[in-house]
Structure 1
């Protein structure tokens, strides 16, 4: 009974494709029967953001540059460690 699972999947996909074609409207009218319709504009949540002050922007820029430097130092340290480890393993053999 090889391939029975494949046939079951084919039957399921055929049934689901037929369910898309309601009332013989055709494949090009699937959007009419779609359950995920767009909401009206008034139903969406409206967000309002405060303007960033220059002092906040300076602090944020300094913090981001410090994070970038720390990340770069960690990456260089891990690269050097891995190079030392590989060369020591090669020379040990």
Structure 2
């Protein structure tokens, strides 16, 4: 079930909310912190590809090599900039 709809249903029924504000606060702090540590960078234009469908329309956009790069990072337990991926840029460190 979706947490939002479960919470709404609990509130409507006068029941206890399964995940109260005290449980959600750490997630909110992390999301806010992520937005403070780095600007959003674009991929190089040469890596952005458009998949053409049967009607000749570009219906999907993807980054060439992204899957392989991120799978390699996962397997090596590295962030993209630590793996030396050319388009990757390190973010700042945020202490909570």
TM norm structure 1: 0.24
Greater share of residues in helix: 1
Which one has a bigger Cα radius of gyration?
Answer: 1
Higher relative contact order (CA 8 A, sep 6+): 2
Greater share of residues in strand: 2
